[in-house]
Amino acid sequence: MKSPFDLSGRKAVVTGGSRGIGGAIAELFLEHGAEVAICHLGDEANASALRERMAARGHALHCTECDVSSPAAVDRFAEWATQRLGQVDIVVNSAGVGGGDRPFESTDERDWDLTVGVNLRGTMLVTRAFFAGMTSRQWGRVINVASQLAYKGAPGLAHYCAAKAGVVGFTRALAYEGAPRGVLVNAIAPGPVDTDLLRNHSEQWLAFKKSQLPVGRFGEVGEIAPTALLLASEAGAFYVGQTLSPNGGDVML
């Protein structure tokens, strides 16, 4: 009997897929039968290492660069991905920047535009590039990576929290348009996960954050990726406009 988590025959793109949460999702999708193309920005070393690791397991991973905040770059990425995959059934918007923790009065327009540009604008641009193709085929999955900070907030992260809250709102709104045409749009709001993005925070901020977690530790990328597999597969066929939160109890809804 075929597993409800099987992705055989599905074609997926994962932004920010060279490492961290995106890399773990790309790896898990490949292991469950999907063909996967990832993009990264200036991270060729990690992308190549992931591609080689997957090749050793018999999986082919397609890799390229893309600045998801740039419409022209996203258009090129969409054309490249379509050429490699033939079509795109699953989009995972995992590319993100943290911006570092700083008081709001020290946050300037450049900080704001970079953080919102990658995390929110990039999510919209990449989704838009593939959405029409999904609706025309009457099947698709869009999985946006938000954050539990969209709900909880955090000192020094007004720009990041605003961007991720926008991702949650975008997910809910687009779900209404996608579901009647076979495209399910959902999001994941991870808690603090041990990635480069988390490590960019100060030791004081990290200690403060860890003290808030009932589990007493930060998450691992391998604990987030299965949520994406659920949402991408037939096992998640009744999830619409939801934001699932593997967060160690940081936010309990």
Pair of tokens at residue 184: 């399910």
DSSP 67: -
CA neighbours closer than 13 Å in the CB half-sphere of residue 225: 19
Q: What is the DSSP string of 123-158?
A: HHHHHHHHHHHHHHHT-EEEEEE--THHHH--TT-H
- What is the model's pLDDT at position 169? 98
Q: What is the set of active-site residues?
A: 160
In this structure, is the dihedral angle defined by the CA atoms of residues 189, 154, 40 and 221, taken in order, positive or negative? negative
Mean pLDDT, to the nearest integer, of 44-73? 98
pLDDT digits (tens, 9 = 90+) for 63-104: 999 999 999 999 999 999 999 999 999 999 999 998 677 889
pTM of the model: 0.95
